[in-house]
Chain A
Amino acid sequence: MSRSKFERVPIAEQDPKVRATNFDEVCLGYTEEEAIEEAKRCIQCKHHPCIAGCPVDIDIPRFIHHIAEGEFEEAAHVLAEYTALPAVCGRVCPQEDQCEVVCVRGIRGDAVAIGKLERFAADWAKANNVELGKTKEKNGFKVAVIGSGPAGVTCAGELAKEGYEVTIFEALHEPGGVLVYGIPEFRLPTDEVVMHEIGNLKKLGVKIETNVVVGKTITVDELLNDEGFHAVFIGSGAGLPIFMGIPGENLNGVFSANEYLTRNNLMKAFRDDHDTPIKAGDKVAVIGGGNVAMDAARTALRLGAETWIVYRRTEKELPARVEEVHHAMAEGIKFEFLTSPVEVLGNEDGWVRAIRCQRMELGEPDESGRRRPLPIEGSEFEFDVDTVIMALGTSPNPLIPSTTEGLDVNKWQCIVADEKGQTSKEGVFAGGDVVTGSATVILAMGAGKEAAAGIDKYIKEKYGEKSLA
């Protein structure tokens, strides 16, 4: 073996030129041999800082040890103890800020590729039909989970394993939440990865009812009072798109990233045999610098557009994962840093013809610790594009709080909940983006897991340890 142990085993990816024209997954994953080699780089250190870095406390050294020994099935079982979505997390978690950033290997050389190994173990289990579902005897208590994104799915999985009867209510026609409508196929394949993990959840006995918009189709109070649920978990996410509030934003050709991505991902507009239309655009400006902005830009590129990311700070401040930024750049996305739109300009038919932008410079750090962008006077210029995609973040949907008696929200419309997910209303728990505002998949999963423990404690305290079954 010629590779130094300080270097990570490289992982196969689709060639950037090829993948820029398709929606197949970019990263191809480790082979068994590569996974074993990478797993052996883990020194199984005694203080395992990686576990504390993981929002769902996965026993990382233990699953990696199994991979190093070639015991892939055991590795998958270790993961299943802690997470309902290992194949998802292995792909989209920001490991570089969580488990890998504290890896002892990283002090000298590359951190162990924990995320890639997690993905490997999960994919191996799927390919080899490993049965992961182990649940306690049914206890007869019913819990309703609202939303089938990362928070809801995790909460549901944890409770099902404890013997609860869990029903997930999903507003859209497919389960998965942001994993399906938001994150594109080339990063997270829907059918092979997300639906497989949701299938595992169903094997735990979780029921999923799609097409139920809680707050409209049924209310939280009806779930508790009329449908016999002993507790409700709200994991409805942060789905409302934020716009800039600049002139011209309602011109034809201005879309929220949510709309653009939902048309392409959930509705599969990129496929010729699907009916939902999408305006790919010829020259597309994506406004924003987060993961959603990267996803929207890389989607536009794959649909054939020349694509720019327009971001008001510099490359260093981009909130997106470094891996995704590198992927985007390799694929040919262009970046306009230190640039902010002030107006969208239209042609006589009301379609976008350009954005008027101003150049920025970085001033003193703001509350977020990042240097505040300040406009440079007299720097305005027109940037010719025909499509603008706003990827400025999202906020929670007020639909549930506004229809639930006694459920408090803060000034950002986020539901107020403590660390165990308990809200201001008895029997109602919440977690994930609906509580924190838009964040990451894994933080939502962590919150779903905490809330499951909170719900378990609440029900056992209220009804005693006895089972209803």
Chain B
Amino acid sequence: MYKIVRKRALASNIFEADVLAPRVAHSAQPGQFVIIVPDETGERIPLTICDYDKEEGTVNIVIQRMGCSTKKIDGLEEGDYLKDFVGPLGRPSDFVNEDIEELKKKKILFIAGGVGTAPVYPQAKWLHERGVGVDIILGAQTKDLVILEDKLGSVAENLYVCTDDGSYGFHGMVTNMLEELVSNRGKHYDLAISIGPMIMMKFVALMTEKLGIKTVVSLNPIMVDGTGMCGACRVTVGNETKFACVDGPEFDGHLVDFDEALRRQTQYKPEESKVDERFQEECRAEGGAE
């Protein structure tokens, strides 16, 4: 059992939690993920690590309420326990093993969207702590869904916030912001790292290909075990089948077959809706908050 030591709302439907998992915190590196099982009947949910405190032994996760499982986690309070919490899984970001002096010569841009904003933080922080300056584009649908602005601001040289509806920051999507920076504001980048919804990463990759910027994306496909056992997370990268859980989750964005990845993400949609309906009924029957 893994204790939730802190929990806090970041937006109306997004919250963060610090979970006591000393072994995971000890080994965690930027770019990796964990798998959570909320309770006895719960499923295994992959979530990218958003921060970790090796001394306290905690791992920070950020979750958007979507279906049954994320609602179950949101239903837990500080002091409650998650049934299972395993990790760190996947390979760390490539830059972790690169020469710092070489990294300092590069202009790195993070492009974060939605709840994908959160896992950008440990990467940007890792680089910032080693004297590598980075810029960050933070995109959200609307002002209320902009999360972690201060946190990201503290580790970025420049933070560019944009909203789809123009209610805050630059009016437009992250791809518009990117084009604006490169084409109109004279910015130059050697490497883009994008984390967000699959569809956003697809369009980021198309844009950076046009702009000639090498791009890394962090994929979040369907997974069960997260250790290479099930193959549910198969993704085609440069005409080769990879398992996102052990070969990724980060890949060259210009080689990923996003259309396949988007299609594969929908595989269990009807079944998931059924589970969610059942869960809501149960909650109603128990007079719960749902």
Bound Cα distance A268, B228 (Å): 20
Cβ A350 vs Cβ B84 within 8 A: no
Bound Cα distance A252, B269 (Å): 12
Bound Cα distance A397, B272 (Å): 29
Bound Cα distance A258, B86 (Å): 19
Cβ B272 vs Cβ A277 within 8 A: yes
Residue in contact with A399 in the complex, picked from B227, B268, B274, CB distance below 8 Å: B227
Please, which residue of chain A has its CB at the minimum distance from the CB of B268?
Answer: A277
Please, which residue of chain B has its CB at the minimum distance from the CB of A394?
Answer: B229
A155 at the interface (CB under 8 A from B): no
Question: Contacts A275-B41, A277-B268; is A217 near B27 (CB within 8 Å)?
Answer: yes
Contact flags (1/0) for B245-268 with A, using CB distance below 8 Å? Answer: 010000000000000100110111
Cβ B232 vs Cβ A259 within 8 A: yes
Cβ A250 vs Cβ B84 within 8 A: no
Residue in contact with B227 in the complex, picked from A213, A259, A268, A277, CB distance below 8 Å: A213
A255 at the interface (CB under 8 A from B): yes
Kindly provide the distance from the CB of B21 to the nearest chain A CB, expressed in whole angstroms: 8
B43 at the interface (CB under 8 A from A): yes
- Interfacial chain A residues near B41, Cβ < 8 Å: 268, 273-275
Cβ B227 vs Cβ A173 within 8 A: no
Question: Contacts A239-B227, A255-B232, A259-B231; is A276 near B84 (CB within 8 Å)?
Answer: no
A256 at the interface (CB under 8 A from B): yes
Please, which residue of chain A has its CB at the minimum distance from the CB of B231?
Answer: A256
B224 at the interface (CB under 8 A from A): yes
- Interfacial chain A residues near B89, Cβ < 8 Å: 213, 216
Please, which residue of chain A has its CB at the minimum distance from the CB of B37?
Answer: A173
Cβ B225 vs Cβ A172 within 8 A: yes
Give the contacts of B1-43 with A (CB-CB under 8 A).
23-24, 26-27, 37, 41-43
Please, which residue of chain A has its CB at the minimum distance from the CB of B232?
Answer: A259
Bound Cα distance A256, B86 (Å): 23
Interface of B: prevailing SS? mixed
Kindly provide the distance from the CB of B41 to the nearest chain A CB, expressed in whole angstroms: 5
Cβ B227 vs Cβ A272 within 8 A: no
Cβ A399 vs Cβ B246 within 8 A: yes
Kindly provide the distance from the CB of B89 to the nearest chain A CB, expressed in whole angstroms: 6
Cβ B84 vs Cβ A210 within 8 A: yes
The residue in B26, B37, B225 that gathers the most chain A C-beta atoms within 10 A of its C-beta is B225
Cβ B87 vs Cβ A276 within 8 A: no
Bound Cα distance A243, B232 (Å): 12
Cβ A262 vs Cβ B230 within 8 A: yes
A278 at the interface (CB under 8 A from B): yes
A370 at the interface (CB under 8 A from B): no
- Interfacial chain B residues near A399, Cβ < 8 Å: 227-228, 246
Kindly state the interface size class of chain A when it binds its partner: 35 or more
- Interfacial chain A residues near B24, Cβ < 8 Å: 217
Cβ A275 vs Cβ B229 within 8 A: no
Kindly provide the distance from the CB of B241 to the nearest chain A CB, expressed in whole angstroms: 6
Total number of residue pairs linking A and B with CB closer than 8 Å: 112
Bound Cα distance A249, B235 (Å): 11
B194 at the interface (CB under 8 A from A): no
Give the contacts of B80-95 with A (CB-CB under 8 A).
83-89
B104 at the interface (CB under 8 A from A): no
- Interfacial chain B residues near A239, Cβ < 8 Å: 227-229
Give the contacts of A257-310 with B (CB-CB under 8 A).
258-259, 262-263, 267-268, 272-279
Cβ A243 vs Cβ B231 within 8 A: yes
B68 at the interface (CB under 8 A from A): yes
- Interfacial chain B residues near A198, Cβ < 8 Å: none
A240 at the interface (CB under 8 A from B): yes
Cβ B264 vs Cβ A249 within 8 A: no
- Interfacial chain A residues near B241, Cβ < 8 Å: 243, 249-250
Bound Cα distance A181, B225 (Å): 10
Contact flags (1/0) for A184-224 with B, using CB distance below 8 Å? Answer: 00000000000000000000000000111100111000000
Kindly provide the distance from the CB of B63 to the nearest chain A CB, expressed in whole angstroms: 15
Cβ A213 vs Cβ B87 within 8 A: yes
Bound Cα distance A397, B23 (Å): 21
Cβ B263 vs Cβ A258 within 8 A: no
A171 at the interface (CB under 8 A from B): yes
Bound Cα distance A241, B41 (Å): 26
- Interfacial chain A residues near B86, Cβ < 8 Å: 171, 173, 211-213, 217
Kindly provide the distance from the CB of A55 to the nearest chain B CB, expressed in whole angstroms: 25
- Interfacial chain A residues near B27, Cβ < 8 Å: 216-218
Please, which residue of chain B has its CB at the minimum distance from the CB of A215?
Answer: B227
Please, which residue of chain A has its CB at the minimum distance from the CB of B243?
Answer: A240
Give the contacts of B194-248 with A (CB-CB under 8 A).
224-225, 227-232, 234-236, 241, 246
Cβ A258 vs Cβ B88 within 8 A: no
Q: List 12 A-B contacts (CB under 8 A).
A: A211-B85, A213-B87, A218-B26, A239-B228, A240-B229, A249-B241, A250-B264, A267-B44, A277-B274, A279-B268, A397-B227, A399-B228
Identify the A interface with B (CB < 8 A). Answer: 171-173, 181, 210-213, 216-218, 239-241, 243, 249-250, 252-253, 255-256, 258-259, 262-263, 267-268, 272-279, 349-350, 397, 399
Known: A262-B224, A279-B268, A397-B229. 17 other contacts (CB 8 A): A171-B227, A173-B84, A211-B86, A212-B23, A243-B231, A255-B231, A255-B232, A258-B231, A262-B225, A267-B44, A268-B41, A272-B278, A276-B224, A277-B43, A277-B268, A350-B260, A399-B227
